[in-house]
Structure 1
Amino acid sequence: MRPLRFVALGDSLTEGVGDPVGGLWRGWAALLARGLAPVDAGVEFTNLALSGAQSRDVLERQTPEALALRPDVVSVVIGVNDTLRCTFDIHSVAERLDTVYAAFRARDTLVMTACLPDPGSMLGLPGALARPLARRQRAVNTVVHALSQRHGALHLHAAEEEWLTDRAMWSADRLHPGERGHRQLALRFHALLAARGIATGAAPAAEPEFAAPTRSASLWWLATAGTGWVARRCTDLLPQLLTLAASEVRHRARGTSSRLDLSAAHAVSAALAALSVAEQPDAA
């Protein structure tokens, strides 16, 4: 009997940023893989996640590679980088994710998904800058949740839990979990998989294996790699984000902020409705 095959797709969160081990990133997916089967049974784990990836990258690059590996379990945790781009379009995100989930379910692969916190609140941005990003992330989370139900995916609610406010869970950049946070994600996914009888190995330990980075080390990371990460995204997003923030201020002054929320909710509903229609071409 061959070992269970687990393939992880996504961006820097799944790549393991924030959990360095031996000069490489480890992360929640690698921690989870160890507990999917007893030690003597083994697990074949492949991490295809890449920092900066968007839903398009998962669809066009990562999914074909993953399908070729014939996984039993696949994790698809993506969407935050989509919200940080001026090209953000919830219709496109929904179409891509629906295609990805369907491709794996057609192979009887168990799909794992998660909803995530919005980057604006994690970074502590001012309200006018944070609200547009929060609205976008809520839209992505709503789509992921709906499509997870449609495709029978195992879904982890990780967007509105107490762990988000525990500073010890997060790395210096405040966007990626530290080792403790990655372990929490691994533990929660393991519990869901164990409830389905899929994870039969020992659950990951909750306590960190390594000491947390010192404050000076964290500041050095922010001043080097962290600054580059922010700069690359601000070059693309900042002009539009300022426009969105100006719109937030205008609507708030007029007392019409609810219109922005209603517009975003309508876009999500329309995106999901379009997918439902597309799945029934012969309905007429």
Structure 2
Amino acid sequence: MRFVVLGDSFSEGVGDRAAGAWRGWAALLAEGLAGPGQRLEYANLAVSGALSADVAAHQASRAVALRPHLASVVVGVNDTLRHTFDIGLFARRLDRVLAALGATGAVLLTACLPDPGRMLGLPAPLARPLARRGRSVNAVVHALSARHGAVHLHLAEPAWTDDRRLWSADRLHPGERGHRAVAGAFHRLLAERGLARGPAPSPDASEPPPTRAQTALWLATAGTGWVLRRSRDLLPQLLLLAGEELLHPADGIGTGPLDARAETALAAALAATMEG
């Protein structure tokens, strides 16, 4: 049984360190897939910072060549943090990746993800445009998961986002408890379909959840580096988006036109993808 993982830092395992390396939900899930007499081959192709373009251009062909029985594709958050964000391009790329993997006979795993602005507690002018993009990405993921018959996990729901014990100090990636919870949720969905024949991953974490002090320390040290690495792209774009958010209330228009513009772009992306 071959399990191949595509995506970004969420699937790479960032936030769950074991034996000096990232482990994560996919590795935990892999341990519970094979039943008695089965042998599991596991390949994690996910790379921190990957965009949908990276998954489509680089990871997908490698994954198809491995002829997986099970393939997970979780991507999109990094797309929302780039000035090049285009929901139509995202939809077409994800559709191509899922179609290529589905054509091999692989069972597909997908997930929608929380809004990073809400998780970071950003002020409204910064959080709203990220939330708008996140809703569009999740809507595409939902639609394409249904189209390709994927096993889908809803990780944008309050049960996941409001439980801070599930998240690492950076507030963007699951901690050990979160990765174990994701692995357990996917295992249940696969077991219901007879696709997970081993024991479910343990929900018990070996490390306590991060304290407020640890979170503050991350934001002051590693978090600073995270912002600096993305400031050439993310920060200017966020400032432009925030300015647009602030202009509309000042003009007495409100943010309705911005929501309407995003909904129109999403509808066009879904229509074009579904007709393709």
Give the TM-score, by structure 2 length: 0.94
Structure 1 equivalent of residue 64 of structure 2: 67
> Which residue identity is paired with 1:204?
P
Structure 2 equivalent of residue 282 of structure 1: none
Q: How does 1:25-174 map to 2 (within 5 A)?
A: 25-38=22-35, 40-174=37-171
Distance 1:220 1:23, change over 3 A: farther
Structure 1 equivalent of residue 188 of structure 2: 191
Structure 2 equivalent of residue 267 of structure 1: 265
Identity of aligned residues (%): 61
Tell me how far apart the structure 2 counterparts of residues 261 and 217 of structure 1 sit (CA, whole Å): 36
SS of equivalent to 2:49: coil
Runs (4 or more) in structure 1 with deviation over 3 Å come to: 210-226
Tell me how far apart the structure 2 counterparts of residues 39 and 241 of structure 1 sit (CA, whole Å): 51
How many pairs align? 275
Tell me how far apart the structure 2 counterparts of residues 125 and 60 of structure 1 sit (CA, whole Å): 32
Quote how far apart the aligned CAs of 1:170 are.
Answer: 0.8
Quote how far apart the aligned CAs of 1:273 are.
Answer: 1.1
Distance 1:245 1:215, change over 3 A: closer
Q: Which runs of 5+ in 1 are unaligned?
A: 280-284
Tell me how far apart the structure 2 counterparts of residues 217 and 157 of structure 1 sit (CA, whole Å): 28
Please list the CA deviations of residues 44-68 of structure 1 after superposition, one character each: whole Å capped at 9, or x if unmatched: 1111101000000101111111111
Quick one: which of 8, 13, 21 aligns to 1:11? 8
Tell me how far apart the structure 1 counterparts of residues 240 and 209 of structure 2 sit (CA, whole Å): 38
Quote how far apart the aligned CAs of 1:158 are.
Answer: 0.7
Q: How does 1:233-248 map to 2 (within 5 A)?
A: 233-248=230-245
Tell me how far apart the structure 2 counterparts of residues 151 and 10 of structure 1 sit (CA, whole Å): 17
Tell me how far apart the structure 2 counterparts of residues 175 and 123 of structure 1 sit (CA, whole Å): 7
Quote how far apart the aligned CAs of 1:227 are.
Answer: 2.5
Please list the CA deviations of residues 196-250 of structure 1 after superposition, one character each: whole Å capped at 9, or x if unmatched: 1101111111110334456666555544443222222232011121111111112
Tell me how far apart the structure 2 counterparts of residues 28 and 244 of structure 1 sit (CA, whole Å): 33
Distance 1:114 1:221, change over 3 A: same
Give the TM-score, by structure 1 length: 0.92
